[in-house]
C-alpha cells in the first residue's frame, strides 16, 4: 500500500501546482506593480461579419477592465474586407485593412486573418488566444520602452482637436500615430455570419492619423470623425518604427470636455 500512497501524494502535488498556476494566470494583471517598466499596445483586427471574432472582442473587454490603471493601450481596428459577405461593419475602414496588411509584411506573414492581435508591433497571434495575450502583455510591461511620448490637449472643440506632443528617444524612422478611440458600442447584426446577434465592442478606433515628427515637440491638428462623442472618447498615441513595425512608446489622454461630463449610454447601431 505504501507505493499507492506515494503515487497519490505526487498526483495531489501536481494538481495543486496546476491549480495554482491557473489562479496566478487569471490574476496576472492584479499582481503587476503600478511602476511597470514598459507598456503594451494591443491591436485587435476584427469584424462584425466574422463569426470567429466575438470571442476576441470579449477577451479584450476583459483585458481592458483588468488593466484599467496600467499602461495597456487597446486599439480595435475593424477591417473592411468582410463587408462584401453580407454585412457592412459600420466601424470598418479600408485604412485599417491596410494597416493589417502592413503588419503582414513586417512580420513576414503570407496572408491576413481575423481575429488577429498584434502586441507592440512585434508579436502576432489569433485574437482569442487568452494565455498568449496575457503572456505577451506581461512580458511587454516588464520591458523598458525605447522611446517616450507625452500628449497634451491644447484645444478641444466640436469637430476639431489640437494636440501637443513631446517625444524622447526617437529616430528618423519613427512616426507618431494618433488614434481617436470610442470606448464602447453595441451593434445588432442582421445579416452575415453573426446574423441575429448583438455584438459589444470596446476601444474602437474611429480615426488613425499619421504625424511626421520634426524634432521632439510639435502640434497635431485633427478633424474629428462624424458622430464621434468626445465626452466618452480617448486619444491614444503610439511611436512606431516604419522599418520594422515595432512600437517604441505610447501614451493616452482624454478629451478636455470629459472632465465634467457624465457617462452617456452608447448608441446601438442597426443596419
**What would the pLDDT profile of 153-209 be if each residue is shown by its tens digit?**
998 888 889 999 999 999 999 999 999 999 999 999 999 999 999 999 999 999 999
186: in domain: yes
Residue 108 CA to residue 126 CA, distance in Å, equals 15
42: in domain: yes
Total structural domains within the chain:
1
For residues 88 and 11, which has the higher predicted lDDT (pLDDT)? 88
- pLDDT of the residue at 227: 86
- pLDDT of the residue at 230: 86
202: in domain: yes
16: in domain: no
8: in domain: no
12: in domain: no
Helical segments of 81-129, H only: 94-106
User: Which pTM was predicted?
Assistant: 0.83
- pLDDT of the residue at 65: 96
Name the band, by pLDDT with cuts 50, 70 and 90, for residue 32: very low
32: in domain: no
For residues 226 and 170, which has the higher predicted lDDT (pLDDT)? 170
Q: Rg (Cα) of the chain, in Å, rounded?
A: 21
Peptide bond into 249 cis (omega under 30): no
- pLDDT of the residue at 4: 36
- pLDDT of the residue at 264: 32
**What would the pLDDT profile of 58-112 be if each residue is shown by its tens digit?**
999 999 999 988 999 999 999 999 999 999 999 999 999 999 999 999 999 999 9
Is the distance from CB of 100 to CB of 79 less than 8 angstroms?
yes
Q: Which domain covers residue 254, as residue numbers?
A: 37-270
Name the band, by pLDDT with cuts 50, 70 and 90, for residue 217: very high
Q: Report DSSP state, residue 147.
A: S
Helical segments of the chain, H only: 2-26, 28-31, 54-66, 94-106, 130-141
- pLDDT of the residue at 36: 59
- pLDDT of the residue at 266: 33
Name the band, by pLDDT with cuts 50, 70 and 90, for residue 259: very low
Say if residue 271's pLDDT is above 70. no
Residue 123 CA to residue 47 CA, distance in Å, equals 20
For position 212, which CATH number holds? 2.60.40.10
- Give Cβ neighbours of residue 238 (< 8 Å, ≥ 6 apart): 41, 73, 149, 176, 177, 179, 247, 249, 250
What dihedral do alpha carbons 198, 252, 77, 147 form, nearest 10°?
-150
Say if residue 22's pLDDT is above 90. no
- pLDDT of the residue at 159: 86
The pLDDT > 70 percentage for the chain reads: 81
End-to-end CA distance of the chain: 69
Say if residue 252's pLDDT is above 50. yes
Cα distances from 194 to residues 53, 188, 198, 203, 269, in angstroms, run: 9, 9, 9, 20, 14
25: in domain: no
Is the distance from CB of 164 to CB of 189 less than 8 angstroms?
no
Sign of the Cα torsion 210, 213, 216, 220 reads: negative
Amino acid at each position: 500500500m505504501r507505493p499507492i500512497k506515494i503515487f497519490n501524494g505526487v498526483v495531489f502535488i501536481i494538481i495543486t501546482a496546476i491549480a495554482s498556476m491557473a489562479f496566478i494566470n487569471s490574476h496576472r494583471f492584479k499582481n503587476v506593480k503600478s511602476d511597470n517598466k514598459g507598456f503594451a499596445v494591443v491591436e485587435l483586427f476584427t469584424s462584425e461579419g466574422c463569426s470567429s471574432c466575438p470571442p476576441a472582442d470579449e477577451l479584450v473587454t476583459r483585458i481592458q477592465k483588468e488593466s484599467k490603471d496600467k499602461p495597456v493601450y487597446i486599439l480595435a481596428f475593424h477591417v473592411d474586407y468582410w463587408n462584401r459577405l453580407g454585412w457592412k461593419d459600420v466601424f470598418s475602414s479600408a485604412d485599417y485593412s491596410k494597416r493589417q496588411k502592413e503588419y503582414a509584411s513586417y512580420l513576414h506573414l503570407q496572408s491576413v486573418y481575423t481575429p488577429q492581435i498584434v502586441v507592440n508591433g512585434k508579436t502576432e497571434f489569433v485574437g482569442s488566444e487568452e494565455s498568449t495575450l496575457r503572456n505577451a502583455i506581461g512580458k511587454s510591461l516588464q520591458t523598458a520602452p525605447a522611446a517616450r511620448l507625452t500628449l497634451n490637449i491644447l484645444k478641444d472643440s466640436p469637430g476639431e482637436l489640437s494636440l501637443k506632443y513631446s517625444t524622447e528617444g526617437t529616430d528618423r524612422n519613427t512616426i507618431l500615430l494618433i488614434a481617436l478611440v470610442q470606448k464602447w458600442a453595441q451593434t445588432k447584426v442582421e445579416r452575415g455570419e453573426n446574423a441575429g446577434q448583438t455584438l459589444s465592442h470596446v476601444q474602437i478606433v474611429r480615426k488613425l492619423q499619421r504625424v511626421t515628427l520634426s524634432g521632439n515637440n510639435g502640434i497635431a491638428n485633427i478633424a474629428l470623425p462624424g458622430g464621434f462623442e468626445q465626452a466618452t472618447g480617448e486619444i491614444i498615441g503610439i511611436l512606431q518604427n516604419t522599418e520594422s513595425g515595432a512600437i517604441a512608446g505610447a501614451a493616452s489622454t482624454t478629451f478636455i470636455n470629459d472632465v465634467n461630463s457624465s457617462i452617456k449610454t452608447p448608441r446601438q447601431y442597426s443596419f
